[in-house]
Amino acid sequence: MKTYNHALIIDDDADLCVLLKTMLADIISDIKYAHSIESGRTFLNTLKPDIIFLDNNLPDGQGLNYIEEIKALSGNSILVIITALESSKNIAYQRGADIFIEKPLTYSNIRNAIDNYKRG
C-alpha cells in the first residue's frame, strides 16, 4: 500500500531525480520532477503533491529562498529540503521546511526521515 499519492521532486540533476523516484516508488504512487523553480511552479499550479523534495542549488535560484512560496502554492504538502549544505539546516526549518536531508542521499536516510516525520 502506498503512503502518498503524489510527489514532486525539484532538482536540476536528472540522475538524482530518477534515483529518488526509484527509491520512493514503493511508498508514492505518482512522482513528477522539475529541474528548476519555474518548472516546479508549473506543476504546483495543477498538482497538489503530498510531498515535495526541493534541492537548494537550482539554475534559477536557491531553493531555501523559495520555501515560503512553495509551501503557499502547495497547500498542505510536506516540504523536504535536500542539499549538501548541512549548515543551511536551521535556515530551512526557520523558513518552513518540514524535513531536511543532507546529500549524498541514501535510501535509509530518506526513508527514515519520511517514515519518522510527524505533522505538527
Domains of the chain (ranges; CATH) run: 4-15+24-52+66-115 (3.40.50.2300)
DSSP SS3 for 78: strand
Classify residue 27 as exposed, middle or buried by CB count within 10 Å of its CB (0-12, 13-18, 19+).
middle
- Residue 3, pLDDT above cutoff 60: yes
Which H or E element spans position 76? none
Nearest CA-CA partner of 70 in 39, 102, 101, 116: 39
- Cβ neighbours of 41 (radius 10 Å): 15
Beta strands at 4-10 and 28-34: parallel, antiparallel or unpaired: parallel
- Cβ neighbours of 71 (radius 10 Å): 18
Beta strands at 28-34 and 61-62: parallel, antiparallel or unpaired: unpaired
Q: What digits encode the pLDDT tens for the residues 29-79?
A: 999 999 999 999 999 988 889 999 999 999 999 999 999 999 999 988 999
The confidence score (pLDDT) of residue 1 equals 60
DSSP for residue 116:
T
Q: What digits encode the pLDDT tens for the residues 69-110?
A: 999 999 889 999 999 988 899 999 999 999 999 999 999 999
DSSP SS3 for 13: coil
pLDDT band at 120 (very low <50, low <70, confident <90, very high): low
Rounded to an integer, the average pLDDT of 110-120 is 84
Global pTM reads 0.94
Torsion angles phi and psi, residue 109, rounded to 5: -75, -30
The confidence score (pLDDT) of residue 7 equals 96
